[in-house]
Amino acid sequence: MKNNDLMYVPMLERKWRPLSFLFFPLPVVLVIVLALLQVGLSPDNAAEIIYGSWAVGFTLLNLTKEKIEDEMVKTFRLQAFQTGFFWLMCGLVAIMVVNYLRFGEFRQEIFSAPLVLFLLNAYVFAAFEYQKWRSNQ
């Protein structure tokens, strides 16, 4: 199949990997500072800041090249995305069930774009790392 510019996703160089790890503690520190400054940040907005930043961190990790990018890594990456989407659907159903049991009704505010992107990228990262670990066993 001919490469299609629309379907091409550039992989980031390995130097992006350390930067991606900054997106995990930084939003927590930011939310704590905003709370200490009494900005009036609601808990939902604080969670959105954290979820969004973690989603960016996991996205950068998922798009960073491995030391050796071969066909096996490409296959692992594809399988990780498929597995991540499956786990995302299971996770969203679990969140719906827990919230239904907790509130007795389905609420639309339990899902947000940052939450879903965080969960998806976390699941993809976990699936990819698990496959790399299993291949080294």
Predicted pLDDT of residue 2: 60
Whether the predicted pLDDT of 108 surpasses 80: no
75 assigned to some structural domain: yes
Nearest residue to 61 (alpha-carbon basis) of 111, 89, 27, 24: 24
Predicted pLDDT of residue 23: 96
Predicted pLDDT of residue 3: 66
Is-contact 41 31, C-beta < 8 A? yes
Predicted pLDDT of residue 37: 92
Is-contact 59 121, C-beta < 8 A? yes
73 assigned to some structural domain: yes
Count: domains in the chain: 1
Q: In terms of residue numbers, what domain contains 91? A: 15-135
For 48-64, what is the mean pLDDT?
A: 95
Q: What is the mean pLDDT of the chain?
A: 90
For 1-25, what is the mean pLDDT?
A: 86
9 assigned to some structural domain: no
Nearest residue to 43 (alpha-carbon basis) of 95, 109, 88: 109
Q: What are phi and psi of 107, to 5 degrees?
A: -115, 135
For 69-98, what is the mean pLDDT?
A: 92
